[in-house]
Amino acid sequence: MQPISGDISAKDIAKRQPAKLAAMEAHYHTENGAPLYIGGIVDNEKQEVNYKIAIPKALSFLAFGDFDAEVKGLNDFPENERPNVAIVHYAFQTMVGLGTMLLFAGVLFFITLSRKKEWFSKPYFWLLFSVMAPMGFIALEAGWIVTEVGRQPWIIHGIMKTKDAVTPVPGIVYSFYMYVLVYSTLTIAVTWLMNRQIKALNASKY
Ligand code: HEM
């Protein structure tokens, strides 16, 4: 479902936050029939993306449902109203890349379940799924980076900048320290409990 909901989000961004879409794709120059970049290293100085795979016209199609639609580039926005392109582009690539891998992992699982049950006894099968297990969380964090870094410098797009929304209330930092402490304690406690559980299960097996 993620690629479908992601596609809907991207189409919405194309209309309402075009600078974010341009940063996601590291798309600097406004053009019709814009290509979709997969991967690549962003060179913000030269306004280029090196070592990418470019799929012709695909960005125009994915964003507007028309292969020749115009996609605004970052250069159409004042320099102080552009998000950090490299962070947003890498986070977007990470999210979509992991989403695609998770999709294939899901398909592989159902193939195994329905017609290749012998794969269940292969250590590589379980290694693959052990590696894939935390990937959903990484994709999720990458998604939030796209959303939040991608909308900078605005906290309310076109109306209020993030720097103007910072609270002047003193002492806020202490509530931050408190949260760090609470969550660190929870992390340690949960790790200890899970470890104990695994050891107890192993012990009861033999
Ligand atoms: C596979 C293709 C995917 C596409 C095309 C996609 C697309 C997008 C887009 C365009 C956004 C920005 C939304 C905004 O700023 O308004 C976004 C945000 C997000 N994505 Fe993805 N995504 C994909 C996969 C995933 C996966 C696999 C996960 C997690 C398991 C994920 C989790 C998130 C989260 C948590 C956000 C931030 C929440 C939000 O803005 O609604 N995405 N995604």
Residue appearing with tokens 């406004």: 30
Contact in structure between 55 and 38 (CB atoms under 8 Å): yes
The stretch 115-122 carries a mean pLDDT of 90
Mutate to test the pocket of ligand 1, among 4, 9, 152 (most ligand atoms within 8 A of CB): 9
* Residue-level pLDDT at 3: 83
Q: Which amino acid, 192?
A: W
Pocket of ligand 1 (CB under 6 A): 2-3, 6-7, 9-10, 13, 95-96, 98-100, 102, 136, 139-140, 143-144, 146-147, 150
Protein residue with its CA nearest to atom 2 in ligand 1: 3
Residue 108 has pLDDT above 90, yes or no: yes
Provide the mean pLDDT of the chain. 92
State yes or no: pLDDT of 87 exceeds 90: yes
Per-residue confidence band for 199, with pLDDT thresholds at 50, 70 and 90: very high
Domain ranges for the chain: 2-164, 167-205
Q: Which long-range contacts (C-beta less than 8 Å, at least 24 apart) are formed by 129-137? A: 129/105, 132/101, 132/102, 132/105, 135/98, 135/101, 135/102, 136/98, 136/102
| Per-residue pLDDT at 202 | 84
pLDDT of residue 178: 97
Q: For 124-170, write each residue's pLDDT tens digit.
A: 999 999 999 999 999 999 999 999 999 999 999 889 999 999 888 89
Distance of CA 196 from the midpoint of ligand 1 (Å): 35
